[in-house]
Amino acid sequence: MSLSISNNGLNLIKRFESCKLTAYKAVNTEKYWTIGWGHYGPDVRQGQTITQSQADAYLKSDCATAEKAVNRYSGKYHWNQNQFDALVSFTFNCGIGNLNTLLNNGNRAISEISAKITAYNKSGGKILKGLVTRRETEKELFDKSVAPTSSIAISNSVQFIKPVSYLQTDPKWKNHNYSAKGEKKTIGSSGCGVTASAMVIATLKDKNVTPITTAEWSMAHGYKALNQGTYYSYFVPQFNQYGITCRQLNSSNLYGKPSSSAHTEALNALKNGNWVIACMGKGQYTSSGHFILLYKYENGYIYVNDPASTKADRIKNTWDLFAKQVKYMWVITVPDSFKPKTPISSISNKIGKISNCTNLNMRKEPQIKNGNVVKILSRNDEVYVLSEKNNWYQIKTKDNIVGYVSGKYVVIL
């Protein structure tokens, strides 16, 4: 499972980075300006000022690349939060190439990684005191255990709910009037916004609501834009009519600016099972403007109900592409009662103890074959049980080695 940097990790980075709330150039020859905790790029303007909370949001967003790089190795190392935070800080400062070198592309053991962290203390071939201190701090955090206890709570994991899917071109309503005074338009030609809102309302409040319902309300209240689609001011009052919480994230156009506090808020909303209505600019979804409904984010991809299309690359695409082409965003809060829960196995996520043998082979894969042993376990060794399948337990030892043992040799504590 992918991790995100914790507040503890962000505070570590802040300890070694300076924060400036007015745009600056560290070197006059730099192409772009810098602001906040070292946020640099074409979205920063000369003379720009931001608040501290905006600077913190930029930092969280800027950590996304480092988080993705460290998460690439999660399948092998199963990082705990401290290890992950330390390596995100390292990558934020040293870059992805140095992370890959530090891990030897996933071929180093946890203890070897720890021993190598402090070697990255030079700039221009010279040892710098600030880098020495930073690497020592990252190593200290990396080595700090996050020991599971026998009282681990078995919780429910939040899953994602897919809203009802409507197409504005459905014959049931595509020819229905959706016009401002002085024009003649239809839901099929101009109703992507009201179709997106109808999906939300039909799922969360009233299954009888269709794009006809929302189009009629929009026209009655003056939210149909002449020779365009739906005014941006439509969504909040429309959802208020049904008691649905909706919040517009940005008031200025984000097209071509893939990193902002609004992007961070939208991504976090999706990760927490909420939805995002987005007005897209020229690119994958439109040649001018188009509303879509995002309902899920997973492993770098967004999942979309597109009112105008069911093409594969329009109902699932990368967050990176979306972030570059989105103009405006609104977050829809999905009540917890609508988020289905999948009970976690009663065996997974618990502490176990090796029993019924003196020495036990811990294996790379859940099968008995030559060359498949990663560690020898002893009677009464405590392990963390990650999962169970066909009576093979995937476990993690106290020194963070992950492998498999037969369930008959593990007693759940």
Q: Give the active site residues.
A: 17
| Structure tokens belonging to residue 346 | 């009663």
| CB environment 111-141: b (16+ within 10 A), e (fewer) | eebbebbeebbeeeeeeeeebeebbebbbeb
**C-alpha–C-alpha distance, residues 54 and 269, integer Å:** 17
> Could you tell me the CA-to-CA distances from 386 to 225, 256, 395 in Å, in that order?
54, 41, 5
Q: What is the DSSP string of 212-227?
A: HHHHHHHHHTT-BPTT
Rg (CA), the chain: 26
Closest CA to 249 of 332, 320, 191: 332
What sign for the dihedral angle of Cα 230, 236, 240, 242? Answer: positive
Q: Residue for token digits 């203890």? A: 111
DSSP summary character for residue 335: P
Checking DSSP bridges between strand 350-354 and strand 410-412, what pairing results, if any?
Answer: antiparallel
**Residues β-bridged to residue 376:** 361
- E strand or H helix at 140, and its extent? helix 129-143
> Could you tell me the CA-to-CA distances from 94 to 59, 116, 140 in Å, in that order?
16, 13, 17
To 10 degrees, the CA torsion angle through 245, 250, 251, 257? -160
**C-alpha–C-alpha distance, residues 204 and 243, integer Å:** 10
Nearest-5° Cα angle at 98, 95 to 101: 155
DSSP summary character for residue 163: P
Angle, helices 261-271/52-71, rounded to nearest 10 degrees: 50
**C-alpha–C-alpha distance, residues 8 and 13, integer Å:** 9
How many other C-beta atoms can be found within 10 angstroms of the C-beta atom of residue 386? 16
**C-alpha–C-alpha distance, residues 174 and 195, integer Å:** 10
Name the phi and psi angles at 18, rounded to 5. Answer: -95, 155
